[in-house]
Amino acid sequence: MTDLPAQSSGTFTIGGDLTVNRLGYGTMQLPGPGVWGPSKDHDGAIRVLRRAIELGVNFIDTADSYGPFIADHLLREALHPYTDDLVIATKVGFTRQGPNQWTPVGRPEYLRQQVELNLRHLGLERIDLLQLHRIDGAVPLADQLGELVALQKEGKIRHLGLSEVSVEQLQAAQEFATIVSVQNLFNFGNRQSEALLDHVEAEGIAFIPWFPLNTGKLTGSRSPLVELAGTHGVSPAQLALAWLLKRSPVMLPIPGTSSVEHLEDNVAGASVQLSDEEFATLDAAHV
């Protein structure tokens, strides 16, 4: 196994110029309960972020709403100045009113404010990948994306993406902006976004599955992951990540954790190789 196990996941080039190892890391679990307030273990969160880089992770997904801004502060403390190959993707468009409370806001002035705050909190001059966290149905899509495109033209954003969209919403957005990524809920047990995955694969757009590990159901007695994981001598979570990576070349899983042990286990999943027959068995199964 390589000293940088995340490299075993292969690479994908986002937007034609940002090449990353396909197995990344998501920061959503670093703030406190309900993705609200300070981390329960600040020093542990710093260790997790630094260990991710040591393992070869060079794609990190975050958002201004994680904390809010707690994840951004941790990233900057742990990793700034950033290595040249590190791609930090962030998101704007969600406001927070408390633990587990999320309200979309897509007013142009708010999106601009949050992009500026992301730049300040992360210590960046330009955001490599800025994703609209949710489309706000109360604001014309042209206004939401128009403001982000304006920021892109000002040199504050490199590439634009979307989160939790349908094929139709993606196509509507492409009328106003070049979209290089989508981020939807997708995992072994939840495949409701398969039509979108197939669509973006055909277009060479990155698909970033959030909640890539449906860990609550992975070890049930009826799960085919358990038997096959035993055959490979790996954890069900590692096998689920291997399935995601084999499912599509545009797939960029971002499993998140606040534990170094779990991080190392997840990243080790990059080296698990499924045969076509094993993949087909898992692909036909649902947890």
3 vs 77 pLDDT, higher one: 77
Summarize pLDDT for 31-52 with one digit per residue, the tens.
999 999 999 999 999 999 999 9
pLDDT digits (tens, 9 = 90+) for 117-175: 999 999 999 999 999 999 999 999 999 999 999 999 999 999 999 999 999 999 999 99
Does residue 5 belong to any structural domain of this protein?
A: no
Q: d(Cα 97, Cα 111) in Å, to the nearest integer?
A: 17
Helix (H) or strand (E) holding 144: helix 141-153
Please, what is the end-to-end C-alpha distance for the chain in angstroms?
A: 30
What percent of the chain stands above pLDDT 70?
96
In a domain, 9, yes or no: no
Domain that holds residue 159: 15-216+246-257
Tell whether the model's pLDDT for residue 287 goes beyond 80. Answer: no
Q: Partners of 185 in the beta sheet?
A: 210
State the chain's mean pLDDT as an integer: 95
- The pLDDT value given to residue 91: 98
The model's confidence at residue 1, banded by pLDDT at 50, 70 and 90, is very low
Average pLDDT over residues 262-287: 91
Q: Considering the entire predicted model, what is its pTM?
A: 0.96
CB 75 within 8 A of CB 27: yes
Q: Which residues are catalytic?
A: 66
**Residue 71 lies inside a defined structural domain of this protein:** yes
Distance from C-alpha of 249 to C-alpha of 10, rounded to nearest angstrom: 9
Identity at 276, one-letter amino acid code: D
Residue 189 confidence class, pLDDT cut points 50, 70, 90: confident
**Is 108 domain-assigned?**
yes
Q: Does some domain include residue 111?
A: yes
Residue 275 falls inside a structural domain: no
Number of domains in the chain: 1
Note whether residue 234 is domain-resident. no
Task: Flag whether pLDDT at 286 surpasses 70.
Answer: no
Please report, for the domain that includes residue 184, its CATH number: 3.20.20.100
Q: Is 81 within the bounds of a domain?
A: yes
Query: What's the pLDDT tens digit per position in 196-234?
Result: 999 999 999 999 999 998 755 656 666 778 888 888 999
Q: What's the confidence (pLDDT) of residue 217?
A: 61
User: Cα separations (Å) of 96 from 87, 101, 167, 210?
Assistant: 25, 6, 27, 19
Tell which wins on pLDDT, 30 or 3: 30
Pairing of strands 179-183, 59-61: unpaired
pLDDT digits (tens, 9 = 90+) for 240-261: 999 999 999 999 999 999 999 9
> Would you say residue 54 has pLDDT above 50?
yes
The reported pLDDT for the residue numbered 38 is 98
> Residue 134: what residue type?
R
Instruction: Please give the sequence-ordered ranges of beta strands (E in DSSP) within the chain, or none if there are none.
Output: 11-14, 18-21, 25-26, 59-61, 87-92, 94-98, 101-104, 127-132, 157-163, 179-183, 206-207
Any residues with CB less than 8 A from the CB of 108 and at least 6 apart, and which? 139, 143, 144, 146, 147
- With vertex at residue 254, the alpha carbon angle to CA 269 and CA 173, rounded to the nearest 5 degrees, is 140
**Contact in structure between 213 and 187 (CB atoms under 8 Å):** yes
CB 67 within 8 A of CB 91: no
